[in-house]
Each structure stands twice: as C-alpha cells, then as structure tokens.
Amino acid sequence: MKRVLVFDSGVGGLSVCDALMASGSALEIDYVADNAWLPYGLKSDVELRARVPALLAAVAAQWRPELVVIACNTASTIALDAVRAALDVPVVGVVPPIKPAAALTRSGVIGLLATPATVRRAYTNDLIGQFAADKRVVRFGSSALVEAAEDKLRGGRGDPGAIDEAIKGLFEAPGGGALDVVALACTHFPLLVDELKAAAPRPCVWLDSGEAIARRVAHVLIAEAGVPRVRRAGFTGMSAHAVFSGRGFTGMAHIGGAPEFLAMPVESNAAE
Ligand code: DGL
C-alpha cells in the first residue's frame, strides 16, 4: 500500500477521496483538514502561503506519507510551489478544470464556480489565457457554498439559498444564457453537484478534477492495483468525527497550533 495524505480546509477533500477510493489503486489514505481556518476562500494570499506549507510539512513529518494531495483549489492556486519546496515527497495539487471544460463546450461559454479567492487568482487567469482564450468564461465566487457543503455532510440541508445564488450568478450573468459546461473549481462543490444540477435552468456538464487527480496520484506513485482504504483524519479545529467515521476513517486526531502542528490521537467517543 502506498501512503497518501489528502489535505483541504474542510470536508471538500472528501470529493477527491471518493475518486481515490474509486481508482482501484492500493492506497492508504490519511486526511488533514485545516478547519480552524475554514473558509480558505476568504483568507489572504499572504496568510495561505505562510500557513499551508508549514502545516503540511509538520503533518508530513509525523505521518510520513509517500505523496501529498492538496485537495483544495484555493490552496493549490497560491501555495503549490511553496508546499513542494517545503516537502521531500511528491505533491499533487488540484487546479480549476478549465482545460477539459474548454475542450467540452459546444457553445463556447464556460462557467467557473470557485471560491472568491480562486476566481480572481492570477493562476486562474493564466489557465484561462492558456486553454480558454477563445471562450467566454462566466465566473462566480462563493464561500456560502463551501459552508453549505460542510453543513450537508454534517446532516444539514446544505443551504438552498447559497445554491440558488450560485446558479443565478452563473446562468443569469452576461453570456450565461449559452453556458453549457461548469467547471467546479472548489473541491467542496462536487459534494453539492446533485443540488446544483437540480437548481440549474437546463442540463449542462458539471466537471470536477477528482478523477484526474486520482489518475495523477496512481501514476506518480506507480501504485499497484488493489483496494484503497482510508485511515486517519486530523483536524486543526473542531473534530468532524461523525462525518469521517461515516466514510470509513478509523483514527481521529487533533492537530495542535503553529508552528509544531502536533497530531494527537483523539478517542473516537470523545471526538465530537
Ligand atoms: N475546498 C477548497 C477549494 O477547493 C476551499 C474551501 C474554502 O474556502 O475553505 O478551494
């Protein structure tokens, strides 16, 4: 089994875990959520570039993964190079699926649904310039959708108001009438794809990066075929034990504060 550490600000990385679990690769998956800092989409670039590499370097030194997945567009688009410099194992980042969206659209109009930070990043502009220069890209940034996904996984209603706002922000924007592909450029959003599809005025393609990340991980690790399994989940903030144990994680940990970010196992029954 190859050991992989999946990282996100919260539960969004579980959409990437779903793809890893479906990949048929022999992977042992640990997860770390920096949920004390959620939502990342409202943090400054400077704050994220300082925190994410330090947190991942500290957790990787303790849990010894063979590869780290930054399962967060908001962190990847600002800190991927800094995380790579801070770690001595391969790092796979997740970036907005602009390229496949541009290849799929027939109308020439693509929706980009991401966090407020990701929609305006230079990294995102570069991707659009490189792969979708001849397309129209309708961007909508939402942090409310991040909270909605967190709420849904905790058993809540997922905030229909946030879903409606995002759908209007895309389909009623100038050019939105012709939109036929939406790039989900935040890993929290695939967790809401059924709600987004149901609220959309017409069918369109909803694209995320999960499968591409899973293929990349298997390729980089030269992973053997096998049955992947999830193992530990660590949280910098409140434990999300119920959500993660429901998905098969067996060990819960609390990750202490900077700069040590010490991972301390938490008894399951005390973890809520
Ligand atoms: N899941 C993260 C992403 O892919 C960000 C959520 C947040 O704003 O914390 O962008």
What is the CA 65 to chain-centroid distance, rounded? 18
Cα angle 201-40-18, degrees, rounded to a multiple of 5: 65
Please give the pLDDT value at position 11: 98
Ligand 1 closest atom vs CA 146: 6
| Backbone angles phi and psi of 271, in degrees to 5 | -85, -15
pLDDT of residue 272: 44
Interval between CA 251 and ligand 1 midpoint (Å): 24
pLDDT along the chain (272 residues), means of 10: 97 98 96 97 95 98 98 97 98 96 98 97 97 98 97 92 97 97 98 97 97 96 95 94 94 96 81 44
Which helix (H) or strand (E) segment holds residue 207: the answer is strand 205-207
Lookup: tokens for 41:
């989409």
Task: Look up the CATH number of domain 2-94+211-270.
Answer: 3.40.50.1860
Q: What amino acid is encoded at 82 in this protein?
A: A
The Cα 128–Cα 137 span in angstroms is 8
Overall fold of domain 98-208: Rossmann fold (3.40.50)
Query: Residues lining ligand 1, CB < 6 A?
Result: 8-10, 12, 38-41, 72-74, 115, 118, 143, 146, 186-188
Cα 135 to Cα 34, 105, 122, 132, 200: the distances in Å are 35, 9, 18, 5, 21
Number of H helices, E strands in the chain: 11, 11
Q: What is the Å distance from ligand 1's center to 186 Cα?
A: 5
Residue 40's nearest CA partner among 121, 133, 146, 128 is: 146
What's residue 239's pLDDT? 85
| Crossing angle of the two packed helices 160-171 and 144-153, in degrees rounded to 10 | 140
Taking the C-alpha atoms of residue 41 and residue 265, their distance in angstroms, rounded to an integer, is: 28
Fold: same for 2-94+211-270 and 98-208: yes
- 220/93 Cα distance (integer angstroms): 12
Query: Quick one: pLDDT at residue 255?
Result: 97
Quote the pLDDT of residue 271.
Answer: 43
Peptide bond into 203 cis (omega under 30): no
Nearest to 262 by CA among 2, 44, 55: 55
Provide the residue ranges of all domains of the chain, joining segments of one domain with +: 2-94+211-270, 98-208
pLDDT of residue 268: 59
- Which residues are tagged catalytic? 72, 186
From 9, 69, 192, mutation site for ligand 1 pocket: most ligand atoms within 8 A of C-beta: 9
Question: 234 CA distance to ligand 1 centroid (A)?
Answer: 17
pLDDT recorded at residue 157: 86
